[in-house]
Amino acid sequence: MKNKEKLMNTLNKIFFIATIIWMVVIFIFSHQTGTTSQSFSGGITEAIVKIIMDDFESLSASEQLKILETTNFIIRKGAHFTEYGILGMFTILTLLTYLYKDTTRYIKYKTKKLLLTNSVYSIIISALYAVSDEIHQSFTADRSPAILDVVIDSSGALCAIIFTSVMFYLLFIKKLKNNK
């Protein structure tokens, strides 16, 4: 049992550090000016469209622009969803490995209640960070806060938190209860 607790303690530290690092990464992305951010995502969008659409170059300039704008919107919002999905995953893993260090707690208390409680804490942390990120963008040149981005960010975090909680339960908690 001591080895499991040591492993969870180590994993907890790793996930905590990963969470902080990922928050810094998000902060850095949000600190880019609107022009820099748009240029970066625009370049990625154009490369993807040219790979997917063989006839892209033969379209009119207005058709190309419409396709690029639509695709860029999807890519940018998908990036929001993904980056906060990663944050949600790291956050829930930090909380779960912290509690899992004391394996008797998982046996003694209701596991599903602990998972749900930590999932709620994780979504609150992720959503508050999304709000603070949008506020931060209001102080960045050519950027502005958007409620839609908070919703997308929080949705990405929620999906990852649910998925990670279910996987954690299936991989660790059920195994622990079966070995009791």
CB 146 within 8 A of CB 30: no
Rounded Cα gap, residues 51 and 167, in angstroms:
35
- Please check whether residue 54 lies inside any domain of the structure: no
Range of the domain at 97: 2-33+77-178
Residue 19: burial class (beta carbons within 10 Å; 0-12, 13-18, 19+): buried
Pick the residue with more confidence: 81 or 101? Answer: 81
Please, what is the average pLDDT of the chain? 89
Query: 91 pLDDT band (50/70/90 cuts)?
Result: very high
- Please check whether residue 49 lies inside any domain of the structure: no
- Please check whether residue 105 lies inside any domain of the structure: yes
pLDDT of res. 9: 87
Pick the residue with more confidence: 134 or 1? Answer: 134
| Percent of residues, the chain, with pLDDT higher than 90 | 67
Residues, the chain: 180
pTM for this predicted structure:
0.87
- Please check whether residue 57 lies inside any domain of the structure: no
Count other C-beta atoms under 10 Å from residue 46's C-beta. 16
Residues near 172 by beta carbon (within 8 Å), at least 6 away in sequence: 100
Closest by CA position to 16, among listed 120, 109, 97: 97
Token pair, residue 69, equals: 């704008």
- Please check whether residue 115 lies inside any domain of the structure: yes
Closest by CA position to 74, among listed 177, 167, 133, 152: 152
| 53: DSSP letter | -
Place of tokens 């170059």: 57
- Please check whether residue 72 lies inside any domain of the structure: no
pLDDT of res. 170: 84
Split into its structural domains, the chain has a count of 1
pLDDT of res. 7: 84
Per-residue pLDDT tens over the stretch 8-66: 889 999 999 999 999 999 999 999 998 898 888 999 999 999 999 999 999 999 999 99
